[in-house]
């Protein structure tokens, strides 16, 4: 990334509404993400998290308001070129063949689900796939078929795949879904390593659970019914007050050793 680009917001969403089939899914959402920031996007089911992520990934357009991603306004840019600069990690990746993990990562260079016919990676691409698998702690699974990988291993492979194009923005849509505790912790440790290795890359992670947030999370946006409950630095947003309001339930939030936890508040009140 050029030096002048490092001072430009990666995401600028201003007064965004999104309406589908007559239903208001996002209501006046505003968000600014700078290079090197790592955002958490939280809220209950139906809050609009995945809808907002689709806008940030240039996979949808706002009904009202403006969205700029990597300096380009949606509606005035070739979204195919813009998407090539965005890494999007979706645990519902629709690969059904027994492609080896290393080749799954290489599909990030082609933007395809399968390896295209007659396509061969360059030596540089092949080396990068191996480096990314090592960074994400999955080097020992490089030759294992996709169909034999655990959910946690697939998550790390998909993050490596998303990084093949050297994106300036990485979007993670509930990457810890379905993982047991050990697999979740392995995935989050890999995300922390990735963020340390790519200090200028911005990330946005969607989750329902505070326990799934890496310690490197810097900012948070809480959504409820498509509207912003709180937005800003993580320690100011991920509080008992705002999280309870977001989920419409009394919740106590604690942060220890950089990680958050949540539990139902004891009778008689809730803390900050």
Strand ranges across the sheet with 11-20? 23-33, 11-20, 64-69, 72-73
Q: Which domain holds residue 48?
A: 1-85+169-177+203-272
Segment 177-182 shows an average pLDDT of 86
What is the band of 3 on the pLDDT scale with cuts at 50, 70, 90? very low
pLDDT at position 80, please?
86
Judge whether 133 lies within some domain.
no
pLDDT at 70 > cutoff 50: yes
Does pLDDT of 17 surpass 50? yes
- 267 part of a folded domain: yes
CA dist., res. 250 & res. 164, Å (int):
42
Say how far apart CA 67 and CA 18 lie, in whole Å.
11
Instruction: Report if residue 211 sits inside a domain.
Output: yes
Q: How confident is the model at residue 176 (pLDDT cuts 50, 70, 90)?
A: confident
Tell me what pLDDT residue 265 has.
80
Residue 100 located in a structural domain: no
User: pLDDT tens across 74-92, in order?
Assistant: 999 998 889 888 999 987 8
**Four-point Cα dihedral 179, 181, 186, 187, nearest 10:** 40
Is there a domain that residue 159 lies in?
Answer: no
Beta strands in the chain (DSSP E): 11-20, 23-33, 38-42, 64-69, 72-73, 86-89, 169-173, 202-207, 219-224, 227-233, 251-256, 259-264
Domain for residue 138, yes or no?
A: no
Residue 74 forms part of a structural domain: yes
d(CA 16, CA 227): 10
Mean pLDDT taken over the chain? 91
Contact status, residue 165 vs residue 123, Cβ threshold 8 Å: no
Residues near 163 by beta carbon (within 8 Å), at least 6 away in sequence: 87, 108, 132, 170, 194, 198
Mean pLDDT, residues 17-25: 95
Percent of the chain whose predicted confidence (pLDDT) is above 90: 71
CATH of the domain at 75: 3.40.50.300
What's the pTM? 0.88
Answer yes or no: is pLDDT of 111 > 90: no
Is 247 contained in some domain? yes
The tally of domains found in the chain comes to 1
Q: What is the pLDDT of residue 202?
A: 95
Cβ atoms of 20 and 67 within 8 Å: the answer is: no
The reported pLDDT for the residue numbered 268 is 55
Encode burial over 178-199: b for 16+ CB neighbours within 10 A, e otherwise.
ebeeebbebbbebbbebbeebe
Kindly state the tokens that stand for 247.
């989920």
pLDDT tens digits, 122-156: 999 999 999 999 998 899 999 999 999 998 899 89
Reported confidence tier of residue 246, pLDDT bands at 50, 70, 90: very high
């Amino acid at each position: 990334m050029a030096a002048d680009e490092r001072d430009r917001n990666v995401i600028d969403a201003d007064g965004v509404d999104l309406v589908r089939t007559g239903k208001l899914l996002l209501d006046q959402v505003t968000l600014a993400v700078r290079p090197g920031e790592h955002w958490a996007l939280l809220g209950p089911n139906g809050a609009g998290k995945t809808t907002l992520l689709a806008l940030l990934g240039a996979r949808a357009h706002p009904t009202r308001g403006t969205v700029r991603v990597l300096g380009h306004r949606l509606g005035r840019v070739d979204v195919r070129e813009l998407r090539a600069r965005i890494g999007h990690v979706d645990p519902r990746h629709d690969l059904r063949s027994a492609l080896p993990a290393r080749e799954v990562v290489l599909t990030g260079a082609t933007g395809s689900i399968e390896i295209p016919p007659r396509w061969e990676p360059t030596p540089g691409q092949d080396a990068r796939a191996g480096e990314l698998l090592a960074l994400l702690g999955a080097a020992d699974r490089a030759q294992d078929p996709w169909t034999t990988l655990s959910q946690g291993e697939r998550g790390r492979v998909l993050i490596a795949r998303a990084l093949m194009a050297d994106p300036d923005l990485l979007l993670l849509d509930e990457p810890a879904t379905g993982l047991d505790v050990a697999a979740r912790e392995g995935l989050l440790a890999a995300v922390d390593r990735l963020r340390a290795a790519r200090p200028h890359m911005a990330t946005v992670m969607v989750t329902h659970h505070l326990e799934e947030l890496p310690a490197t999370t810097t900012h948070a946006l809480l959504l409820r019914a498509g509207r912003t409950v709180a937005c800003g630095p993580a320690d100011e947003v991920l509080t008992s007050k705002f999280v309870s309001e977001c989920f419409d339930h009394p919740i106590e939030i604690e942060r220890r050793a950089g990680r958050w936890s949540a539990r139902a508040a004891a009778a008689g009140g809730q803390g900050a």
